[in-house]
Amino acid sequence: MNKNSILGFVLIAAIMIGYSIWMTPSKEKLAAQKRKQDSIARVMQQYNDSVSFAKAAALKNRNIQKEEETQSRKTAQKQQPKESQKNTSGLILEYGAFSSATRGKEKYYTIETDLAKFSISKKGGFINSVELKKYKTWDQRPLYLFDSTTSRFGISFFSSNKVINTSQLYFSIVGQHSGKNNYVVSGNDSLHFVMRVYANNHNGTIDSSRYIDYVYTFKGNNYMLSFNIEMHGMQGIIPANMNYVELKWYTDLLQEEKTVDTRNGATIYYKFYKDNVDNLSERKDEEKTIKTNLKWVSFKQRFFSSTLIAKQFFNDGILKVHKIKKNPPTKHYLKSVSVDLTVPFNVQRDKVIPMSFYFGPNDFTTLKSYGLQLEHQIPIGWGFFILAWVNEWIVIPVFNFLGSYGWNYGIVILVLTILLKIALFPIAYKTYMSSAKMRVLKPEVDAIGAKFPKKEDSMKKQQAVMALYRRAGANPASGCIPMLLQMPILFAMFEFFPSAIQLRQQAFLWAHDLSSYDSILHLPWNIPFYGDHVSLFTLLMTVSTIMYTYLNNQMMGSQTQSMPGMKTMMYIMPVMFLGIFNNYAAGLSYYYFLANIITFLQMYFFKYAVNEEKLLKQIEVNKKKPKKKSNFQKRLEDAANKRGYQKK
């Protein structure tokens, strides 16, 4: 440290000490501040005492008033008939035309189809639980799509300056099925099920000409059911100038899988009317206001969904996904989801709001059959059309075809991998031939390198190497292009396997569930970026990838030696994948492992099938052949000649 630096530090220290002394208040000023604080404290104490006295007095007055009201109400109830005691004026003031429907006894009706079991609550008249009969949770519990204790559904509208929400009203079953609690429908049969809530007159008596119906049509062999809201005699209840009613749906989703997939997790999907499908975040809480028309909204989980579909469209909506951080309603709680939609409705013109529900699995073929783009809830690469195209038209049809034979899905993945490798065989052969040409030309490339050892001659060296490749009929890029053509398949599989419901709870070898990670060892601690278990399929995939990288580098020869940084990265990537894939679907790691093994077999086949000595002789012959100019090169030379330039 020099003299000037020491002098600078001394000056800075002196300035700071002088500033602190200068800014320190005097004893008189400190005493004045203390007197001021003491006076403020005395005033605040007096204020708090007066507020507490006022609160106590107000509470005493409220208690006295409450006792007087209770006594007067008891006296009035003794003087009134029993029936009139129920129809209190308070309910009429609060619920208006539906005050009589606010009282009732809870009751549930069960409708069972071939695929699901529905429970409809008398309060609210809606489906409060759906059990899918063909599926179980990861720990073998009955699979319910949402929590029945928190599910709420209802339509809201203004009536006499009051907001009426049907989720608070008691419905009753009507029609030919009244009087029963359990109903069964199977096969191609359908069940027409009606829940009705009546309005009442001004005196509280029921008016049978004014009511709201929830009309369900269940089908025995279909996850889709029709749902219509029918309004009868609502002209005097809903204002004539109202052009919509609000539809509110809230529920708590339950965890059905062993692990939560943040890439394919629980959230809300929605489709714009005559437009694309979008979704809220799967990783964080989000609330979104949609100001354009919507065709459907869906409470989507990894392998199942609950979807509300409009016959025409919803005007707009508010969608919300959040997670209760403290005191969740159940130990299987996953997330809370809700939608607030406006539905076009005019009481003078309309009587029915037609809709439908889908409660079922996220099976691509099943969802696509409805023609509503419901399959876009399954992430198969929709953001990049090539991936979606490969999965939709190649991978999924072949996978479903192989699965139709009843094979174990480990065998299905094996056969699928072999078929894909056979289809890509010409591309793999082209890649190998390119690398073989590079290997036989390596001595000549090394000779050129020795001829131009200086860095300033790197351009001449590159030109000489490219001239050699042109004479030999070799193209370094010809090995890269086939590899690029295989990339859509690799990425398509990365999207497909974690989303394939066919792999759910399908065991193979040591893996109990190919849609979740396989574990051969549970660790006593959690390793960051890796997890608390060891996935054997991921280990096999990583080791085989490193082996493939080593062999590929040996085959590529001078190409990898000229890019040492890239060579190192090729070894680092498999180690990174070890941490990423350790918590992914076992079926995905198993597929990549199989792909590496088959690639090894192809490489050894090519090695013995391709005679590199004959290839070198063919290259020597190619060098002697006159090179035909391309049309592009001819046009360039013609243009140069017209400008007066002569080719050297």
Alpha carbon distance 165, 102 (integer Å): 10
Answer yes or no: do 265 and 320 share one domain. Answer: yes
In a domain, 326, yes or no: yes
Alpha carbon distance 214, 227 (integer Å): 7
In a domain, 229, yes or no: yes
204-213, 565-574, 628-637 — which is least confidently predicted?
Answer: 628-637
- pLDDT tens per residue, range 500-513: 999 999 999 999 99
In a domain, 12, yes or no: no
Q: Say whether pLDDT at 424 is over 80.
A: yes
Alpha carbon distance 70, 68 (integer Å): 5
Answer yes or no: do 370 and 296 share one domain. Answer: yes
Task: Identify the domain boundary among 378, 406, 430.
Answer: 378
Answer yes or no: do 140 and 122 share one domain. Answer: yes
In a domain, 158, yes or no: yes
Diameter of the chain measured on Cα atoms? 121
pLDDT given for residue 77 in this prediction: 42
Q: Say whether pLDDT at 69 is over 80.
A: no
In a domain, 578, yes or no: no
Alpha carbon distance 592, 585 (integer Å): 12
Answer yes or no: do 460 and 342 share one domain. Answer: no
285: how many CB neighbours lie within 10 A of its CB? 13
Answer yes or no: do 315 and 442 share one domain. Answer: no
Answer yes or no: do 198 and 258 share one domain. Answer: yes
67-81, 166-180, 185-199, 530-544 — which is least confidently predicted?
Answer: 67-81
- pLDDT tens per residue, range 435-489: 777 777 777 777 877 777 777 777 777 777 777 777 776 666 655 665 666 788 8
Using the 8-state DSSP alphabet, how is residue 392 labeled? I
Confidence label for 84 from pLDDT (cuts 50, 70 and 90): very low
Domain count, the chain: 2
Q: Say whether pLDDT at 576 is over 90.
A: no
In a domain, 573, yes or no: no
Indicate the pTM of the whole model.
0.76
Answer yes or no: do 398 and 370 share one domain. Answer: no
Task: Identify the domain boundary among 330, 354, 378.
Answer: 378
Answer yes or no: do 365 and 397 share one domain. Answer: no
Answer yes or no: do 402 and 354 share one domain. Answer: no
Q: Say whether pLDDT at 90 is over 80.
A: no
- Sheet of 286-290: strands edge to edge? 162-165, 152-159, 244-254, 333-344, 316-322, 286-290
pLDDT given for residue 242 in this prediction: 85
Task: Identify the domain boundary among 378, 412, 438.
Answer: 378
Confidence label for 561 from pLDDT (cuts 50, 70 and 90): low
Alpha carbon distance 516, 259 (integer Å): 7
Answer yes or no: do 280 and 417 share one domain. Answer: no
Show the CA angle centred on residue 222, arms to residues 217 and 225, nearest 5°: 30
Which is higher by pLDDT, 633 or 412? Answer: 412
Alpha carbon distance 101, 123 (integer Å): 9
In a domain, 538, yes or no: no
Read off the tokens for 179.
Answer: 């009087």
Answer yes or no: do 452 and 599 share one domain. Answer: yes
pLDDT given for residue 321 in this prediction: 95
Which residues span the domain enclosing 169?
95-378
What distance, in Å, lies between the first and last C-alpha atoms of the chain? 65
Answer yes or no: do 374 and 391 share one domain. Answer: no
Residues contacting residue 438 through CB under 8 Å, at least 6 positions apart: 474, 476, 479, 556, 557, 558, 559
Q: What is the CATH number of the domain that holds 109?
A: 2.70.98.90
Q: At what angle do helices 425-440 and 480-496 cross, to 10 degrees?
A: 140
pLDDT given for residue 397 in this prediction: 94
583: how many CB neighbours lie within 10 A of its CB? 18
Question: What Cα–Cα distance (Å) separates residue 160 from each residue in 6, 11, 443, 593?
Answer: 84, 79, 94, 68
Alpha carbon distance 478, 19 (integer Å): 73
In a domain, 445, yes or no: yes
